[in-house]
């Protein structure tokens, strides 16, 4: 297609740049985007450019990864009549297209983009306005202040050359005074307009009783300006205006670099939460907007498409990729009857599913809501309070040093040179690790955790995790899946030892009968049996059998041909002997035992390795359960848990155990969040591993596992340790810098201008070190 359009250059550019392509999404039909022509969508999506009057639409594209992509997309006007302009923002993947709606429709535009290889997603124009405009306004503000400061600095430098020449070879007083006053005027915009943010933040800090990092800077700028003005008035040539303006410019530049870095980090942290497809196929494969679907509707998802709702598969077997929810690419096989989650990608084959939850009620929506309700850094952690104290001590130290320098300096080198050293001191000293890096590191940690499914309500959990000594697990629903499953099917060999093919058919027939007997019964046992039978026969193909249910015993067909129930009941009715122990259910056909099923609440496969990992980190692991002591002891042996290992615990027993343990160290309690709320709240850190069909938001635990994977527990500890190292690294760098910098300032090795150069360098270094830590990418 690219060749037809004379766009062969795409490949040339792509090869020249040495960038490889990526696999494409599902192919679109001409109908995929027809929903875009709907009036409501048009209203939301199309805005109008103020000057040209053209209609403008913004799409978010996937698959933009190289220069050639930018080239192709911006060439749209050349081969799509009706498109006036197409501008792509490479970093965000958003394209702004100006077009004439009378000549080309929105759907055709989207279709073409898809055909080129960039499936588009519509971005409503009010969604844009809020976030983008704000960020743009902030950036513009910073650019303008920088521009003014740069202009002042450069022109002041021009005047300064004359002044320096005058210092060297003499200058008439009238010219000296002229240059002096021009310098004052030129410096004013830099010192007032450009430096304003520093003054504002320093003042806000004072009002809040906190020593803001900008306070020394603001003080230094004002002091330097006043001193220089005084000198100009006296006709002296000790003028620092040029350095001052340059200093302001450099400081602004440094702050801008940090701000950009933080923007990038924020974007990186929040990507992946809004990837749901805008258009979804209904059961007749007609595309409709996602918002048009209700719970209970049937939806078709083709191979390569992303699933838009939480639901149950009705037809089709495939594999789904949960990368969006877990952070790793791993596929799981799914069959009719299995649940799938919004945000996962359907890999192999088309499936037909029933919508069980939409939007906010999907697991993904719950995770987003949980994260959104997170408090900003709570100021209650001991660590942050300690940082505050350090900041204050720092400031007092600077003040004392300044006074000493002025005092001693005036005696030995004259008050003007002493003042210069003090000014340099104020500018160079920067507790950047404290005020920049630490909050940033904590924010990155929380974001990185969220991406893996580990949802932290507040960031102080990371700090508290470092002091945990005991980790207690509940059993049912935490260490085990919380639901019964058929773990073994014992086929009676006297009926099933013929050749394999006949065996399969016979087994399938039997499974069909078993499932048919359990149909319509809403009981965990029945659910487990039906789930097991799905590998042989699909839900829709079951014959209807008239049954009677005998509570506590089982179910049988009315004609008494087929029986399915507890072993004791069947033995009573039919007199079977030598049934394998451990069998839970038996299936009897015409008086003959055909099949035994063993049902268990399966242990989570990762449980053992998780316990081992925690023990390796010198944590004491315990088990608290309401289950029978026998079962608990067995589980403990299996997993290597020795103490505390307590069974038959009522909620108040659990609370008492936790209280008792807390005396010897902080306790973490891992439970299902629904039945263990008391214990989870009493522990120092409560972790809820919420069952699949429950709502994440219904628990108040500070840590919620967005997916049922126990490995997230050791991951939390690892993340805490990593975060602490990152913060420590920043503190070390900042400390080293400050020691070197303040010494140099006091000894007169650096003047205020050099100080201004060093300070942003150190801040940016610390910020970059924090942002690029490998811990966030694990």
Per-residue contact string for residues 15-44; x = within reach of other proteins by CB under 8 A: --x---------------------------
Listed in sequence order, the residues at least 6 apart from 263 whose beta carbon sits closer than 8 Å to its beta carbon are 135
Q: Interacting stretch for other proteins, rule CB under 8 A, among 6-14, 390-398, 413-421, 621-629?
A: 6-14
CB burial of residue 235 (10 Å; 0-12, 13-18, 19+): exposed
Residue closer to other proteins, measured from CB, 178 or 383: 178
Q: Work out whether 91 is an interface residue with other proteins (CB under 8 A).
A: yes
Interface residue with other proteins among 143, 230, 396, 749 (CB under 8 A) is: 143
Q: Work out whether 81 is an interface residue with other proteins (CB under 8 A).
A: yes
Round to whole Å and give the CA distance between 430 and 346. Answer: 51
| Helix pair angle (241-270, 438-452), 10° resolution | 20
Minimum distance between the CB of residue 258 and other proteins, rounded to whole angstroms?
A: 15
Round to whole Å and give the CA distance between 69 and 501. Answer: 54
Q: Which two tokens stand for residue 632?
A: 């608990």
Q: Compute how many residues bind other proteins; rule: CB under 8 A.
A: 36
Minimum distance between the CB of residue 96 and other proteins, rounded to whole angstroms?
A: 10
Q: Work out whether 90 is an interface residue with other proteins (CB under 8 A).
A: yes
Residue closer to other proteins, measured from CB, 154 or 352: 154
Distances (CA, A) of 533 to 30, 316, 338, 470: 40, 16, 12, 42
Q: Work out whether 144 is an interface residue with other proteins (CB under 8 A).
A: yes
Positive/negative CA dihedral, 175, 177, 183, 185: negative
Q: What is the DSSP string of 405-417?
A: HHHHHHHHT-HHH
User: How many other C-beta atoms can be found within 10 angstroms of the C-beta atom of residue 527?
Assistant: 16
Q: Work out whether 2 is an interface residue with other proteins (CB under 8 A).
A: no
Q: Which residue has the tokens 């020795």?
A: 642
Residue closer to other proteins, measured from CB, 267 or 416: 267
Q: Work out whether 4 is an interface residue with other proteins (CB under 8 A).
A: yes
Q: Which two tokens stand for residue 74?
A: 């911006």
- 686's enclosing H/E stretch is strand 685-689
Listed in sequence order, the residues at least 6 apart from 51 whose beta carbon sits closer than 8 Å to its beta carbon are none
- 12's enclosing H/E stretch is helix 9-17
User: How many other C-beta atoms can be found within 10 angstroms of the C-beta atom of residue 587?
Assistant: 25
Q: Interacting stretch for other proteins, rule CB under 8 A, among 84-92, 302-310, 324-332, 746-754?
A: 84-92
Minimum distance between the CB of residue 5 and other proteins, rounded to whole angstroms?
A: 7
Do strands 554-557 and 547-550 pair parallel, antiparallel, or not at all (unpaired)? Answer: antiparallel
Residue closer to other proteins, measured from CB, 245 or 679: 245
* Per-residue H/E/C for 81-139: CCEEEEEEECCCCEEEEEECCCCCCHHHHHHHHHHHCCCEEEECHHHHHHHHHHHHHHH
Q: Work out whether 155 is an interface residue with other proteins (CB under 8 A).
A: yes
Q: Please, are residues 19 and 68 in contact by the beta-carbon 8 Å criterion? A: yes
Q: Work out whether 89 is an interface residue with other proteins (CB under 8 A).
A: yes
Listed in sequence order, the residues at least 6 apart from 380 whose beta carbon sits closer than 8 Å to its beta carbon are 460
Using a CB cutoff of 8 Å and minimum separation of 24, what contacts does 557-560 make?
A: 557/517
Minimum distance between the CB of residue 533 and other proteins, rounded to whole angstroms?
A: 55
Buried b (16+ CB within 10 A) or exposed e, 704-724: bbbbbbbbbbbbbbebbebbb
Residue 485, strand partner residues:
600
Which has the closest alpha carbon to 593: 576, 573, 568, 569? 576
Q: Interacting stretch for other proteins, rule CB under 8 A, among 174-182, 205-213, 542-550, 650-658?
A: 174-182
Residue closer to other proteins, measured from CB, 140 or 360: 140
Q: Work out whether 407 is an interface residue with other proteins (CB under 8 A).
A: no
Minimum distance between the CB of residue 262 and other proteins, rounded to whole angstroms?
A: 15
Residue closer to other proteins, measured from CB, 137 or 761: 137
Interface residue with other proteins among 178, 275, 383, 576 (CB under 8 A) is: 178
Residue closer to other proteins, measured from CB, 185 or 291: 185
Q: Work out whether 129 is an interface residue with other proteins (CB under 8 A).
A: no
Q: Which of residues 51-80 bind other proteins (CB under 8 A)?
A: 67, 70-71, 74-75, 78-79
Minimum distance between the CB of residue 136 and other proteins, rounded to whole angstroms?
A: 5
User: How many other C-beta atoms can be found within 10 angstroms of the C-beta atom of residue 237?
Assistant: 15
Q: Work out whether 618 is an interface residue with other proteins (CB under 8 A).
A: no
Q: Which of residues 182-221 bind other proteins (CB under 8 A)?
A: 182, 186
Q: Work out whether 666 is an interface residue with other proteins (CB under 8 A).
A: no
Interface residue with other proteins among 88, 247, 668, 685 (CB under 8 A) is: 88
Do strands 83-89 and 94-99 pair parallel, antiparallel, or not at all (unpaired)? Answer: antiparallel
Q: Work out whether 464 is an interface residue with other proteins (CB under 8 A).
A: no
Interface residue with other proteins among 122, 148, 307, 465 (CB under 8 A) is: 148
Minimum distance between the CB of residue 33 and other proteins, rounded to whole angstroms?
A: 19
Using CB under 8 A, list all residues that contact other proteins.
Answer: 4-9, 13, 17, 67, 70-71, 74-75, 78-79, 81, 88-91, 136, 139-140, 143-144, 147-148, 151, 154-155, 158-159, 175, 178, 182, 186
């Amino acid at each position: 297609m690219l060749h037809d359009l004379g766009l062969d250059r795409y490949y040339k550019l792509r090869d020249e740049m040495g960038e490889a392509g990526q696999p494409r999404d599902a192919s679109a039909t001409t109908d995929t985007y027809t929903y875009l022509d709907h009036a409501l969508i048009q209203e939301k999506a199309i805005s109008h450019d103020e000057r040209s009057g053209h209609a403008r639409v913004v799409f978010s594209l996937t698959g933009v990864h190289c220069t050639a992509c930018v080239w192709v997309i911006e060439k749209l006007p050349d081969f799509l009549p009706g498109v006036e302009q197409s501008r792509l923002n490479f970093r965000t993947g958003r394209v702004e297209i100006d077009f004439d709606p009378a000549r080309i429709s929105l759907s055709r535009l989207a279709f073409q983009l898809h055909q080129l290889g960039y499936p588009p997603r519509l971005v409503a124009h009010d969604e844009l306005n809020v976030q983008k405009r704000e960020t743009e306004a902030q950036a513009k503000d910073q650019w303008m202040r920088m521009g003014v400061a740069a202009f002042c600095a450069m022109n002041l430098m021009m005047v300064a050359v004359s002044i320096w020449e005058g210092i060297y070879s003499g200058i008439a007083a009238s010219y000296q005074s002229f240059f002096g006053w021009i310098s004052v005027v030129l410096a004013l915009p830099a010192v007032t307009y450009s430096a304003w943010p520093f003054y504002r933040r320093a003042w806000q800090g004072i009002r809040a009783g906190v020593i803001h990092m900008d306070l020394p800077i603001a003080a230094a700028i004002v002091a330097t300006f006043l001193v220089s003005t005084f000198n100009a008035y006296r006709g002296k040539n000790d003028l620092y205006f040029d350095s001052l303006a340059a200093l302001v410019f450099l400081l602004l530049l440094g702050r801008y670099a940090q701000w950009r870095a933080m923007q990038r980090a924020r974007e990186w942290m929040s990507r992946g939460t809004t990837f749901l497809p805008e258009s979804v196929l209904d059961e007749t494969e007609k595309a409709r907007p996602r918002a048009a679907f209700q719970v209970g509707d049937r939806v078709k998802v083709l191979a390569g498409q992303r699933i838009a709702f939480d639901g149950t598969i009705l037809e089709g077997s495939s594999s789904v990729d949960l990368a969006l929810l877990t952070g790793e690419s791993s596929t799981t096989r799914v069959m009719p009857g299995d649940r799938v989650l919004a945000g996962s990608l359907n890999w192999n084959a088309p499936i037909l599913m029933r919508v069980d939850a939409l939007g906010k009620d999907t697991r993904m929506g719950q995770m987003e809501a949980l994260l959104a309700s997170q408090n900003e850094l709570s100021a209650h952690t001991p660590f942050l309070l300690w940082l505050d104290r350090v900041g204050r001590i720092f400031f007092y130290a600077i003040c004392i040093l300044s006074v000493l320098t002025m005092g001693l300096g005036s005696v030995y080198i004259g008050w003007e040179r002493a003042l210069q050293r003090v000014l340099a001191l104020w500018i160079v000293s920067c507790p950047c690790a404290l005020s920049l890096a630490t909050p940033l590191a904590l924010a990155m940690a929380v974001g990185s955790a969220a991406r893996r499914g580990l949802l932290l309500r507040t960031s102080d959990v990371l700090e508290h995790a470092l002091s945990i000594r005991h980790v207690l697990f509940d059993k049912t629903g935490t260490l085990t899946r919380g639901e019964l499953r058929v773990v073994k099917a014992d086929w009676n060999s006297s009926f099933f030892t013929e050749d394999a093919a006949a065996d399969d058919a016979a087994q399938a027939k039997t499974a069909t009968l078993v499932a048919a007997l359990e149909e319509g019964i809403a009981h965990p046992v029945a659910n487990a049996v039906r789930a097991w039978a799905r590998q042989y026969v699909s839900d829709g193909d079951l014959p209807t059998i008239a049954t009677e249910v005998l509570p506590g015993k089982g179910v049988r067909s009315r004609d008494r041909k087929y029986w399915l129930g507890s072993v004791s009941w069947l033995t009573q009715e039919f007199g079977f002997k030598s049934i394998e122990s451990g069998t839970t259910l038996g299936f009897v056909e015409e008086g003959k035992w055909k099949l035994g099923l063993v049902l268990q609440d399966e242990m989570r496969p990762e449980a053992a390795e998780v316990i081992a990992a925690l023990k390796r980190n010198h944590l004491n692991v315990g088990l608290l359960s309401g289950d029978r002591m026998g079962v608990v002891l067995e589980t403990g042996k299996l997993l290597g848990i020795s103490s505390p290992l307590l069974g038959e615990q009522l909620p108040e027993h659990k609370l008492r155990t936790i209280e008792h343990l807390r005396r010897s160290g902080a306790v973490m309690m891992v439970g299902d969040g629904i039945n263990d709320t008391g214990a989870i709240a009493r522990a120092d850190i409560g972790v809820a591993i919420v069952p699949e069909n429950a709502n994440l938001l219904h628990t108040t635990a500070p840590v919620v596992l967005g997916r049922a994977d126990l490995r997230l527990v050791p991951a939390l500890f690892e993340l805490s340790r990593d975060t602490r190292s990152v913060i420590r690294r920043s503190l070390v760098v900042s400390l080293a810098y400050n020691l070197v910098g303040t010494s140099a300032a006091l000894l007169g090795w650096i003047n205020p201008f050099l100080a201004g150069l060093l300070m942003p360098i150190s801040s940016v270094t610390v910020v970059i070190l924090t942002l690029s830590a490998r811990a966030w990418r694990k």
